């Protein structure tokens, strides 16, 4: 909106300038040319970006893969080669997964879905 | 004329800026699922059968309304419809649990889980036939209470048991696989692995006990002792977790020990 206000002010200013000096080419016209060039450049950049990002969005490799399981953490069995450095991380992941599973098991146990009032 | 061109260019510029902003915003929002995927936490199977649950609730309301009716045939139809929805809800949950257990890493438990689920699924299929053959509302009510719900306990016993089996199995897989390989490497490096081996051994033993207890519940979810079975299994699973935590502390110690022993002094260069 600020840009639009600025543009309108510029138009009014140039309009007044044109009326004051109808037959002359002032320095304002040079500024106008630069301004037009910048805007055209912006238009071109916008267009190129539009096509570029759209093609990126359509590219299946850039889209997040659909999760095939409800486990959030990576499968340790298929992770990288186990080393002493990865062992604490493996254990931390397993403990975190176990916490999550225990929490869901408790929720399921307390579910009222197997209760019916006939 | 100059003004017209100027205004056109201004409008074009604004449109292009807006389109660029929109595209960038779309690009940003398209990235959001990636973040959500990575942050996605495990969820209960119960949450994935919302449509079936809603259908069962609607059927229950319809049955309660029909009960006030004097028309016996309408009452029976409403009761049969409710029983059918209860069965559909459970069979959907079982199908989902079976798919999930096949997808996640509880490799060894897959067969046991599949057998337990198939047994309950067969119960439900038989109960569906019983419901269709029932001649009175009371008969349908008994099938619902003692059969569809009471014999199977899909949500409060079978699903937690299956989940617990999977969790216990994944601990055993981790210990027998990656962690055993690490311990072997530590031994090769000359480090003392007795403590970490002790913790891993305890974790594996508790995970196995938890697995057995969960399996017992999964194979007999209609048992009157299912709650005790689940509780005992959970206690074992928590014990396995405690041993894993101790093993983690020990693994960190050994890692640091290994790092400091592998730092060799830089040899002095000859002049």
Give dist(CA B62, CA B85) in Å, integer: 12
Phi, psi torsion values for A105, nearest 5 degrees = -60, -45
* ipTM exceeds 0.90, yes or no: no
Q: Which of B104, B101, B100 is nearest to B215 (CA)?
A: B101
Asked if the model's pLDDT at residue B6 lies above 70, the reply is: no
> In whole numbers, what is the pLDDT of chain B averaged over residues?
83
Give dist(CA B74, CA B70) in Å, integer: 9
Residue B113 lies in a domain: yes
Last residue of a domain, one of B152, B171, B206: B152
Last residue of a domain, one of B152, B180, B202: B152
Q: Which of B95, B112, B86 is nearest to B48 (CA)?
A: B95
Give dist(CA A16, CA A32) in Å, integer: 14
pLDDT of res. B119: 96
pLDDT of res. B4: 52
Q: What pLDDT band is residue A32 in, cutting at 50, 70 and 90?
A: confident
Mean per-residue pLDDT, B112-138? 95
- Spatial neighbors of B37 by CB under 8 A, at least 6 apart, are A64, A65, A67
Asked if the model's pLDDT at residue A88 lies above 80, the reply is: yes
Residue B16 lies in a domain: no
Residues B128, B180: one domain? Answer: no
**How many CA atoms within 13 Å lie on the side-chain side of A24?**
8
User: Least CB-CB distance to A71: which of B26, B42, B164?
Assistant: B42
Asked if the model's pLDDT at residue A9 lies above 90, the reply is: no
State the residue range of the domain holding B58.
48-152
Residues B191, B142: one domain? Answer: no
Comparing A51 with A73, which gets the higher pLDDT? A51
Angle at A105 between CA A101 and CA A107, to 5 degrees: 120
pTM here?
0.67
User: Least CB-CB distance to B40: which of A53, A72, A90?
Assistant: A72
The total of structural domains in chain B comes to: 2
Last residue of a domain, one of B110, B133, B152: B152
Residues B174, B144: one domain? Answer: no
Give dist(CA B116, CA B112) in Å, integer: 6
Tell whether B72 lies on the interface with A, counting CB pairs under 8 A.
Answer: no
Give dist(CA B224, CA B239) in Å, integer: 25
pLDDT of res. A45: 81
Residues B161, B253: one domain? Answer: yes
Tell whether A25 lies on the interface with B, counting CB pairs under 8 A.
Answer: no
Chain B stretch 16-35, residues whose beta carbon is closer than 8 A to a beta carbon of chain A: 16-17, 19-20, 23-24, 26-27, 30, 33-34
CA separation (Å) from B216 to A107, B161, B222?
20, 8, 11
Residues B131, B172: one domain? Answer: no
Q: What is the pLDDT of residues B194-224, one digit of tens each?
A: 999 999 999 999 999 999 999 999 999 999 9
Q: What is the pLDDT of residues B80-120, one digit of tens each?
A: 999 999 999 999 999 998 888 777 767 788 899 999 999 99
Cβ separation of A113 and B156 shorter than 8 Å?
yes
Tell whether B216 lies on the interface with A, counting CB pairs under 8 A.
Answer: no
Give residue limits of the domains in chain A: 2-62, 76-109
Tell whether B200 lies on the interface with A, counting CB pairs under 8 A.
Answer: no
The percent of residues above 90 in pLDDT, for chain A, comes to 17
Residues B75, B138: one domain? Answer: yes
Cβ separation of A114 and B154 shorter than 8 Å?
yes
Comparing B208 with B256, which gets the higher pLDDT? B208
Give dist(CA B69, CA B33) in Å, integer: 50
Q: Nearest-CA distance from B57 to chain A in Å?
A: 10
């Amino acid at each position: 909106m600020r840009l639009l206000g600025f543009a309108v002010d510029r138009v009014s200013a140039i309009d007044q300038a044109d009326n004051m000096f109808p037959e002359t080419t002032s320095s304002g016209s040079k500024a106008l040319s630069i301004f037009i060039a910048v805007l055209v450049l912006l238009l071109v950049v916008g267009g190129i970006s539009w096509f570029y990002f759209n093609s990126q969005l359509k590219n299946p490799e850039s889209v997040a893969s659909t999760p095939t399981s409800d486990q959030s953490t990576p499968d340790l069995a298929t992770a990288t080669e186990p080393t002493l450095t990865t062992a604490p991380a493996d254990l931390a992941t397993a403990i975190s997964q176990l916490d999550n599973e225990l929490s869901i098991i408790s929720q399921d146990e307390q579910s009222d879905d197997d209760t019916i009032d006939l | 004329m100059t003004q017209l061109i100027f205004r056109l260019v201004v409008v074009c510029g604004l449109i292009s800026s807006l389109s660029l902003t929109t595209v960038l915003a779309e690009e940003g929002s398209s990235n959001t699922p990636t973040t959500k995927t990575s942050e996605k936490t495990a969820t209960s199977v119960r949450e994935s059968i919302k449509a079936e649950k809603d259908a069962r609730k609607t059927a229950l309301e319809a049955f309660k309304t029909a009960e006030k009716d004097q028309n016996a045939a309408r009452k029976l139809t409403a009761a049969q419809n409710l029983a059918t929805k209860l069965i559909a809800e459970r069979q959907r949950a079982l199908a989902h649990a079976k798919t999930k257990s096949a997808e996640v890493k509880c490799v060894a438990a897959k067969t046991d889980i599949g057998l337990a689920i198939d047994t309950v699924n067969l119960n439900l299929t038989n109960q569906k036939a019983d419901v269709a053959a029932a001649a009175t509302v009371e008969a349908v009510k008994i099938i619902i209470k003692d059969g569809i719900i009471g014999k199977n306990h899909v949500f409060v016993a079978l699903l937690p048991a299956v989940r617990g089996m999977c969790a216990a199995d994944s601990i055993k897989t981790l210990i027998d696989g990656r962690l055993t390989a690490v311990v072997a490497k530590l031994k090769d490096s000359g480090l003392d692995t007795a403590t970490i081996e002790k913790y891993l051994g305890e974790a594996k033993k508790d995970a196995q006990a938890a697995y057995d207890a969960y399996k017992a519940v999964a194979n007999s979810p209609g048992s009157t002792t299912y709650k005790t079975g689940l509780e005992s299994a959970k206690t074992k699973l928590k014990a396995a977790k405690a041993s894993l935590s101790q093993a983690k502390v020990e693994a960190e110690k050994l890692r640091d020990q290994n790092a400091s022993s592998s730092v060799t002094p830089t040899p002095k260069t000859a002049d």
